[in-house]
């Protein structure tokens, strides 16, 4: 369908020049970001989404005659080619390159949307929806990048319960900190809220100033109250956006996933990391199904957001998990129920280094 201008003819060429310039700018910016996702992040899922954005932009603008756009193009008369700022040519690293081009995409799509309105409200509306998708994609790329950096070498994630007493719980936390465990999640559904808050505050105090981060399970309200480093939610808990509304943007948010579509969605929703499983039968939790190693392989091939394999993992099957492409694991009884939890934790840390 060709666009039928409804504006005075003397403005047609100017409008087409604006459409041409911004279509090129948006597509070019999308391609630069795609190269970053592909070669720096190595993320198949986000690469495919980014490529789809480019293709959809081309499809939306198919109604604008390429011949008309080329005929209206007048680069040598474009005053913008003579205007530049020193910051345009300064990029600290490849992350800066990707961020600058993401902004270029968003701004170009907005210009396209506005200047297409005199030509076709329908096409302008489709560009608007594409712009919203670009915003979501940009967030997913940025969070994947920053989450990789924030979690860095954090390969061992230990889930602990509330213990038989506050003193016993504190002793367990101290063992995890001494061993150098990078992430400790408080998962104690048997405790009432007051007991849970007491355990959480104990965990916070004993990990403050150490390399061990405190993750609260399921309860963003208590995570905020007790100054946790993060909160982890399941598929039946609050959505990531709802969690963010409670804890803000600085706290880590993790999501349990049991299928590849769920893992993909968690990336788009804005999670900082995902738990993937259950991999094997567990002594601490019962499950109706086990996605297993095949699920881990699928995630490792597609997704570069930090991902922890979970469910029945111990030192006897750790190598199979690693062979699936996972370097990060979440464990409970393999460490907490070991004869010497500190030794077990150190063995896991060494094996995943």
Q: Considering Cα of 47, then 49, then 52, then 57, what sign does the dihedral take?
A: negative
Residue 285 is a catalytic residue? yes
Residue 256 is a catalytic residue? yes
Q: What angle do CA 107, 109, 111 make, to 5 degrees?
A: 70
Residue 103 is a catalytic residue? no
Q: Report residues of the chain scoring pLDDT below 50.
A: 1, 5-10
DSSP assignment of 254-298? EEEESSHHHHHHHHHHT-SEEEE---S--SS---S---HHHHHHH
Q: Considering Cα of 187, then 193, then 199, then 204, what sign does the dihedral take?
A: positive
Instruction: Yes or no: say if 200 and 169 are a contact pair by the CB < 8 Å rule.
Output: no
Catalytic residue among 256, 282, 304, 333: 256
Catalytic residue among 187, 199, 213, 264: 187
Instruction: Yes or no: say if 309 and 294 are a contact pair by the CB < 8 Å rule.
Output: no
Q: What angle do CA 304, 305, 309 make, to 5 degrees?
A: 95
What pLDDT was estimated at residue 71? Answer: 62
Catalytic residue among 285, 298, 300, 346: 285
Specify the domain boundaries for CATH 3.20.20.70 within the chain.
152-351
What pLDDT was estimated at residue 5? Answer: 47
What pLDDT was estimated at residue 9? Answer: 46
Name residue 310's beta-bridge partners. 330
Under CATH, which architecture does the 152-351 domain have?
Answer: Alpha-Beta Barrel (3.20)
Determine if the pTM surpasses 0.95. Answer: no
What pLDDT was estimated at residue 334? Answer: 97
Name residue 129's beta-bridge partners. none
What pLDDT was estimated at residue 281? Answer: 86
What pLDDT was estimated at residue 63? Answer: 74
What pLDDT was estimated at residue 74? Answer: 59
What pLDDT was estimated at residue 326? Answer: 98
Q: Residue 69 corresponds to which tokens in the numbers above?
A: 């756009």
**Burial class of residue 143 (count of CB atoms within 10 Å of its CB; 0-12, 13-18, 19+):** buried
What pLDDT was estimated at residue 290? Answer: 85
Scanning the structure block, which residue is given the tokens 């993060």?
Answer: 230
CATH number for 9-148 (one of 1.20.1260, 3.30.360, 1.20.120, 1.10.3470): it is: 1.20.1260
Q: Helices in the chain by DSSP H: which ranges? A: 12-36, 44-60, 66-72, 94-116, 121-151, 166-179, 193-207, 220-225, 240-247, 260-269, 292-302, 318-323, 333-336, 341-351
Specify the domain boundaries for CATH 1.20.1260 within the chain.
9-148
């Amino acid at each position: 369908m060709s666009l039928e201008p409804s504006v005075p003819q003397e403005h047609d060429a100017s409008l087409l020049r604006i459409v041409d310039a911004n279509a090129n700018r948006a597509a070019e910016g999308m391609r630069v970001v795609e190269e970053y996702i592909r070669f720096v992040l190595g993320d198949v899922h986000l690469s495919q989404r980014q490529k789809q954005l480019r293709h959809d932009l081309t499809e939306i603008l198919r109604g604008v005659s390429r011949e008309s756009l080329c005929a209206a193009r007048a680069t040598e008369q474009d005053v913008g080619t003579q205007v530049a700022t020193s910051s345009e040519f300064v990029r600290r690293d490849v992350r800066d390159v990707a961020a600058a081009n993401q902004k270029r995409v968003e701004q170009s799509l907005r210009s396209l949307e506005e200047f297409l309105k005199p030509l076709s409200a329908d096409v302008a509306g489709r560009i608007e929806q594409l712009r919203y998708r670009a915003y979501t994609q940009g967030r997913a790329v940025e969070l994947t990048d920053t989450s990789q950096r924030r979690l860095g070498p954090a390969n061992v994630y230990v889930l602990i319960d509330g213990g038989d007493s506050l003193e016993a719980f504190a002793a367990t936390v101290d063992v995890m900190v001494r061993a150098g465990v990078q992430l400790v999640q408080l998962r104690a559904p048997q405790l009432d809220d007051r007991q849970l808050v007491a355990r959480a505050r104990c965990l916070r105090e004993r990990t403050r100033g150490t390399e061990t981060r405190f993750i609260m399970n399921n309860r963003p309200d208590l995570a905020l109250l007790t100054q946790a480093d993060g909160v982890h939610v399941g598929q039946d808990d609050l959505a990531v956006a709802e969690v963010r509304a409670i804890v803000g943007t600085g706290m880590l948010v993790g999501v349990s996933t049991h299928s590849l579509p769920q893992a993909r969605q968690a990336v788009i929703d804005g999670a900082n990391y995902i738990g993937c499983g259950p991999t094997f039968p567990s002594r601490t939790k019962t499950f109706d199904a086990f996605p297993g190693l095949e699920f881990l392989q699928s995630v490792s091939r597609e997704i570069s957001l930090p991902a922890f394999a979970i469910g029945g993992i111990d030192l006897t099957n750790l190598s199979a998990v690693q062979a699936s492409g996972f370097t990060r694991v979440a464990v409970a009884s393999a460490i907490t129920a070991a004869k010497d939890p500190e030794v077990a934790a150190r063995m896991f840390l060494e094996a995943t280094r």
